[in-house]
Structure 1
Amino acid sequence: MAKEEPVRARHVAIIMDGNGRWAKKRHLPRALGHQRGVEAVRRVVRGAREMGLEALTLYAFSTENWRRPEDEISDLMGLMKRFILSDLEEFAQAGVRLKIIGDYTAFKPDVVDLIEGAVQRTAGNAGTTLAVALNYGSQDEIARAATKAAAKGAITPESIADELDTADLPPLDLLIRTSGEVRLSNFLLWQAAYAEMLFTEVLWPDFTVEHLREALEAFTTRERRYGGR
């Protein structure tokens, strides 16, 4: 009898945590930790594409992040703009499709214009989908989805799932959180119902393609029973 092939992850999500602690450990400005975090995003997206992931969802800015100091929010928006301007063409040429989940329209108009231009620029790509969560909160997403489902008819798990921001992505297989924290922080609560979880002590700026590869290899060894035996 032929040996069964291991189940491989199609959709991975990452809570990118630890930028501030990375900087603090090195007695560096917090903004530099965020800069190094962007570098980690860059290499992990490239790695995900090379490894054939269908979707990679990154938690970039939550609805709760507005509580941070204004200068830190400004730094984060500046980094986002520079990332789009410097990396968009490479990702577009590589077949990466950019998708935004959450309400990015709450950002300043110049940021919104850049985001919408980037989404449009990559809309026809059929490679890895990079879904970036911006001004995103899962409880808000579920409430919005339920409202839309109710307007169309009966509220069922299926009708809600069809209205989620991630409805056009494969089911979530693996959720990773860096920095040693063990919580979901209002991220993909519905989607993570049967996802595998991996919590690592590695701070996000130190997260490498090899860490991602190891996580995907570990995923293949897990037995997914979805509530069965």
Structure 2
Amino acid sequence: MPKAINRGAGPRHVAIIMDGNGRWATQRGRPRLFGHQAGARRVREIVEACPDAGVEYLTIFAFSTENWKRTQTEVAGLMSLFRRYITKEAASLRAENVRVRFIGDRVKLDKKLRCLMDELEEMTGHCTGVNLTIALNYGGRDEVARATKRLAEDVAAGRLDPAEIGEETLPRYLDTCVLPDPDLVIRTSGEARISNFLLWQSAYAEYEFVDTLWPDFCASEFEALTRAYGRRDRRYGAVPA
């Protein structure tokens, strides 16, 4: 039976920049794709850890708009890995009551992968447990640009009054329009940068940069970070009473 989510003082929405797959493989004398395969297996463990950690929403950065700059061999291997992952995990994700969504620009992805993404979203659309969002061909600046274009089209068509546009307007056009903003953003592998990930949404997120390479990032470390979040004083620009 799928676990119920135990809400507490921890983060409701955790976003993860899953970094370090290539280095993990290189340290073992293996090709980079070997590390990506190990990283894909790690996703399952973290998704399964979410209910006990009180996490309702998990967003993972799988492939960025900048990752097309990698070698053709690595990109092709990653796209094949994404197709296999969706095919292999679809039934278990539905059985575990996990709702899956994808964000990012799908236009550049191949037709088979896009169809698999659509099918998984439809298959899990009724699920009420953990909300897993996979950022695939995603970039924060690209997302804002696409959202701004759609907003401008609504203004031009008379569906939106420019005088009514405020900071709450643009989020309605973002890929994440149905999601709450992330409370905690985690980046693995020791790098301390956000790499164009959820730029608008993470304005008030807490950040954790950990040295662990993604294939070694385990449920216990994830749960420790969510507990540490619960001890932070989040004031959103205000001062203590």
| TM-score of the pair, normalised by structure 1 | 0.94
Amino acid at match of 1:205: P
Q: Which residue, out of 178, 203, 207, partners 1:193?
A: 203
Give the structure 2 partner of residue 214 of structure 1.
Answer: 224
Distance 2:123 2:52 in 1: 21
Q: Percent identity?
A: 45
Give the structure 1 partner of residue 39 of structure 2.
Answer: 37
| Structure 1 runs not aligned, ≥5 long | none
Choose between structure 1 and 2: higher helix proportion. Answer: 1
Tell me the CA shift for residue 212 of structure 1: 0.8
Question: Secondary structure of 2:202's partner?
Answer: helix
Distance 1:105 1:96 in 2: 25
Write the deviation string for residues 5-50 of structure 1: whole angstroms up to 9, x where unpaired.
Answer: 9632110000000001111111111111111111111211111244
| Structure 2 runs not aligned, ≥5 long | 1-6, 155-159
Amino acid at match of 2:123: R
Question: Secondary structure of 2:107's partner?
Answer: helix
User: Which shows bigger deviation, 138-147 or 126-135?
Assistant: 138-147
Give the structure 2 partner of residue 123 of structure 1.
Answer: 125
Distance 2:76 2:101 in 1: 22
Question: Secondary structure of 1:157's partner?
Answer: coil
Write the deviation string for residues 116-137 of structure 1: whole angstroms up to 9, x where unpaired.
Answer: 1111101111111110001111
| TM-score of the pair, normalised by structure 2 | 0.89
Amino acid at match of 1:140: D
Aligned residues: 225
Question: Secondary structure of 1:105's partner?
Answer: coil
Distance 1:147 1:85 in 2: 33
Give the structure 1 partner of residue 89 of structure 2.
Answer: 87
**1:167 and 2:177 matched:** yes
Q: Which residue, out of 53, 57, 68, partners 2:55?
A: 53
Distance 2:238 2:63 in 1: 35
CA contact (8 A) 2:24 2:215 kept: yes
Write the deviation string for residues 47-78 of structure 1: whole angstroms up to 9, x where unpaired.
Answer: 12443421100000100011111110111111
Amino acid at match of 1:153: D
1:98-137 correspondence runs (5 A) = 98-137=100-139
Distance 2:13 2:93 in 1: 18
Give the structure 2 partner of residue 181 of structure 1.
Answer: 191
Distance 2:161 2:47 in 1: 38
**1:16 and 2:12 matched:** no
CA contact (8 A) 1:20 1:33 kept: yes
